[in-house]
Amino acid sequence: MRYLQPALLALALTFSTGVFAHAVVTHNSLKLKPVPVNQASQVELTFNSKVELDLSEVFLVSAGDKMQVIPATPGAKAGTVLLDLPALEPGEYAIKLKIFAADGHLSEDLLRFFVKQPK
């Protein structure tokens, strides 16, 4: 009996860790491919879990904290999301994410990036 309670607690913690998962960005194409100047483009995000895009919101944030909704569509693989960016002038921007994981947990993130003229 003395070892039963700690064993049950350990077992419960082992199986409950996945229950409280949040959708976290594990990769984004902004790191590898810069956003072109004055040209519409697409950003690929990879999450650590499936996401519910119908319940999620994605915004483009520009100078002066102006926010506009940007389209998000499922990618080819589970947990991959494609974002359609409009043509952007040089400057500093961010993508604000409010993403629901398939398990119903909300995650928020902010991905900052720059649009620069090629040298």
Number of domains forming the structure of the chain: 1
Q: Does the predicted TM-score (pTM) go above 0.85? A: no
The CATH number given to whatever domain includes residue 57 is: 2.60.40.1220
pLDDT digits (tens, 9 = 90+) for 30-74: 989 999 999 999 999 999 999 999 999 999 999 999 999 999 999
Q: Is residue 6 domain-resident?
A: no
Q: Is residue 15 domain-resident?
A: no
CA separation, residue 63 to residues 10, 66, 69, 73, 114 (Å): 49, 6, 15, 25, 11
Q: Is residue 5 domain-resident?
A: no
Question: What per-residue confidence (pLDDT) applies to 23?
Answer: 87
Which domain, by its residues, includes 76?
A: 21-115
Q: Is residue 82 domain-resident?
A: yes
Provide mean pLDDT across the span 16-41: 82
Helix (H) / strand (E) element for 51: namely strand 51-62
Percent of the residues in the chain that have a pLDDT greater than 70, as a whole number: 82
3-class SS of residue 27? strand
Q: Is residue 106 domain-resident?
A: yes
